Chain A
Amino acid sequence: MTKQQPKDGGLDSLEQLLSARSPPRKLPAQGGGMSPLDMLELPPDLRQVMNLLMRKGLSTAQEVAIPMQIDVDRANELLETLVARGHVRRIGKDEQSIYEPILGHSGRPRLSSRLWELLEED
């Protein structure tokens, strides 16, 4: 068996070769989730909700409302805005809803994970 070589030496060819040898690992979605940098750009009330969710994890609207000293309806409104923006996931319905922050990848360019495995080989 002959060793495969990239035909034109370009990065695209190398990527194709690596993909052929090993299917690429399933990578996390880069869209939708929130990065901490995005958090800094949110309006203060939405950012405050995100700050709470980041530290506490899963929370109800009431658990958001109490530390923010707002009523539950306003907390629901803010949480639903974050859900609509793709920063928060709603689990369940109505008063039973629980909210969870969605984190994204830092968004740097990604090469095939196989490339790094090859670097470890002789």
Chain B
Amino acid sequence: MAKVISLHSFRGGTGKSNITANLSIVLALAGHRVCIVDTDIQSPGIHVIFGLGEDRVGHTLNDYLWERCRITESAYDVTPPQVTEGKVFLVPSSIKINEISRVIHEGYDARLLKDGFKELIQELSLDYLLIDTHPGLNEETLLSIAISHALIIILRPDQQDFQGTSVTLEVAKKLGVPNISLVLNKVLPEVEPDVYRSQLQETYETPVGAILPLATEIVRLASADVFCLLEPQHAFSQEIKALGQTITAME
């Protein structure tokens, strides 16, 4: 059975889309079929990491939500050549101003989104559906969390993130998410990762999926590509790989 995994952060700028993109590649390199849905409709961006330019994008998630197309018509194969057995698909959101403003004003039919996830899983024979959510808590994000088999909460070593993560965790527990894990991103290299790992686990009583370093190489890449494909031996890539293994071991 395909697993639905939401990647969420309470605040913006945590590196959520970058982690989602890298995780999808790690899962695909292990031979799995993965689709990312960019439900961050208000501020989409993950398509940039996959080099999916406007010239290649016809239909988007917005078109599906306004019933202009089937959701599979808005799914693009973004599998890089390094992936030989698995597949990576991406359902991008529109970057057109009127499309974004419409979502902000009107919202959308949650039933359509849920049905769309189901259709993607069936039609693309997926093993994993990754949902790149909008930061914070709104109804669309809550829906994604409510239907997910796993939730990965991404945070930085920042007091505001720590507080927001508590709120997200409380909601996720109420919505009965079976597997929840934390990913701490942008950790200064001089800090021992295990210190954070034990502190987070103790404070939140939640497993820590990865401790990711703040790396100048990633900053320099500036979302121009998927980092773990370029630097597979880097500590960041190794931690993402371990996160992927945790996910594949999930019941």
A residues near B (Cβ < 8 Å) are: 25, 28, 33, 35-37, 39-40, 47-48, 51-52, 54-55, 57, 102-111, 113, 116, 119-120
The closest CB in chain A to the CB of B4 belongs to: A55
The answer to whether B147 touches A105, judged by C-beta atoms less than 8 angstroms apart, is no
Residues of A within 8 Å of B178, CB to CB, are: 55
Residue of B nearest to A104 (CB): B110
State whether A111 and B111 are in contact (beta carbons under 8 Å apart), knowing that A54-B147, A55-B149 are contacts in the complex: no
Partner of A36, one of B98, B106, B118, B145: B145
Question: Which residues of B are interface residues toward A (Cβ below 8 A)?
Answer: 4, 66-67, 98-99, 102, 105-111, 114, 118, 138-140, 142-143, 145-149, 171, 174-176, 178
Do residues A36 and B105 form an inter-chain contact, with CB atoms below 8 A? no
CA distance A70 to B142 in the complex (A): 27
In the bound complex, what is the Cα–Cα distance between A105 and B108 (angstroms)?
6
Whether the Cβ atoms of B174 and A111 lie closer than 8 Å is no
Would you call A39 and B146 a contact (CB within 8 A)?
Answer: yes
Shortest distance in angstroms between B118's beta carbon and chain A's nearest beta carbon? 7
- Measured between alpha carbons, how far is A72 from B140 in the docked complex, in Å? 32
B142 touches A36 (CB 8 A): yes
CB nearest to B99 among chain A residues:
A116
Q: How far is the CA of A102 from the CA of B111 in the complex (A)?
A: 8
Most A Cβ at <10 Å: residue of B138, B139, B149: B139
Say yes or no: B142 contacts A105, CB within 8 Å.
no
* Bound Cα distance A110, B99 (Å): 14
Question: Which residues does chain B contribute within 8 Å of A109, judged by CB atoms?
Answer: 105-106
Which chain A residues border B176 with CB–CB below 8 Å?
A: 47-48, 51-52, 55
Residue of A nearest to B141 (CB): A36
Q: How far does the alpha carbon of A20 sit from the alpha carbon of B102 in the complex, in Å?
A: 21
Q: List 19 A-B contacts (CB under 8 A).
A: A36-B110, A39-B142, A39-B146, A39-B175, A47-B174, A55-B149, A57-B118, A104-B111, A105-B107, A106-B107, A106-B138, A106-B140, A107-B107, A108-B105, A108-B106, A109-B106, A113-B66, A116-B99, A116-B102
Report yes or no: A33 in contact with B111, Cβ–Cβ below 8 A.
yes
A105–B175 alpha-carbon span in the complex (Å): 18
B139 / chain A contacts, CB cutoff of 8 Å = 35-37, 106
Q: Please, which residues of chain B bring their CB within 8 A of the CB of A102?
A: 111
- Cβ of B25 to closest chain A Cβ, rounded Å: 26
Provide the bound-state CA to CA distance between A120 and B63, in Å: 13
Q: How far is the CB of B104 from the nearest CB of chain A, in Å?
A: 8
- Taking CB as reference atom, which chain A residue is nearest B1? A56
Note all chain A residues with C-beta closer than 8 A to B145.
36
Q: How far is the CA of A21 from the CA of B63 in the complex (A)?
A: 22
Q: Are A105 and B110 in contact (CB under 8 A)?
A: yes
Question: Do A120 and B105 touch across chains, with their CB atoms under 8 A apart?
Answer: no
Q: Is the CB of B175 within 8 A of A40?
A: yes
Q: How far is the CA of A57 from the CA of B146 in the complex (A)?
A: 12
For the complex, give the distance between the alpha carbons of A117 and B105 in Å.
15
CA distance A106 to B176 in the complex (A): 21
Among A103, A110, A119, the residue within 8 A (CB) of B98 is A119
Q: Which residues of B contact A110 (CB under 8 A)?
A: 106
Interchain CA distance A48-B177 in the complex, whole Å = 11
A106–B174 contact, CB under 8 A?
no
Chain A's closest residue to B104 (CB) is A108
Distance between B175 CB and nearest chain A CB, rounded to angstroms: 6
Q: Which residues of A contact B67 (CB under 8 A)?
A: 25
B residues less than 8 Å from A120 (CB atoms)? 98
- A contact residues around B109 at 8 Å (CB): 28, 103, 105
